[in-house]
Amino acid sequence: MKMAIFEKWFINSDRHGEQVINRADRLLMFVDVKENQKYLEVGCGTGSVARHVAGKYLWDVTAVDVDPEQIKQAQENSRDLKNIRFLAADAMKLPFPDKDFDIVLSFGTTHHISNWLAALGEIRRVLKPDGYFVYYDLVYSGFFAKMGRSFKHSYGIVTMPELDTFMETNNLSEVHATKRNSVIWYDYEVVCKSV
């Protein structure tokens, strides 16, 4: 689902870009970083994290977003980087072969996808054995998830038990996780390794 105008303005701000780059750097400390790795970002927006990673680690970086306008802006902002490509793609139908990426990162994307489980399934499909999944998003408590699901909407409402079950059944082993509570949801970040 594409973002509303206000949300896009916030997500595309320099301040937000700095925040997600800092989060990426902090979480990538839990990844076994090597040269020549293939990195995928799902839900890249205008590409601030992807550009940062391409410059810092010199990986083969691919970044996707469902919004062609975001992809166009990301491409324009990244012309000087040779190891990066941006594609308009749906997270529920990633256009890549199985087991193609060493690291897959997704920040703040699954709450925009009504079938978030299909998107996570695609992320798992393209992740190599011994690869890393770096994730951050809003995760709802059971009560608020139940309330939210009673309304017709196109947002994904993820709960901790559902996310834990997905990780367990898809052989993703937690390397690091933090959860910050609010009244309605948790800010949840996790680094998992595929086994």
pLDDT tens profile 129-155 = 999 999 999 887 776 666 666 666 657
Q: Report d(CA 42, CA 94) in Å as an integer.
A: 9
pLDDT score of 113: 87
Beta bridge partners of 107: 136
Residue 46 pLDDT greater than 70, yes or no: yes
Percent of the chain with pLDDT over 70: 86
Helix (H, G, I), strand (E, B) or coil at 86: strand
User: Which domains can be identified in the chain, with CATH numbers?
Assistant: 5-194 (3.40.50.150)
Q: Report d(CA 43, CA 67) in Å as an integer.
A: 9
pTM over 0.85: yes
Q: Which two tokens stand for residue 145?
A: 């998830």
Beta bridge partners of 186: 139, 181
Residue 173 pLDDT greater than 90, yes or no: yes
pLDDT score of 7: 61
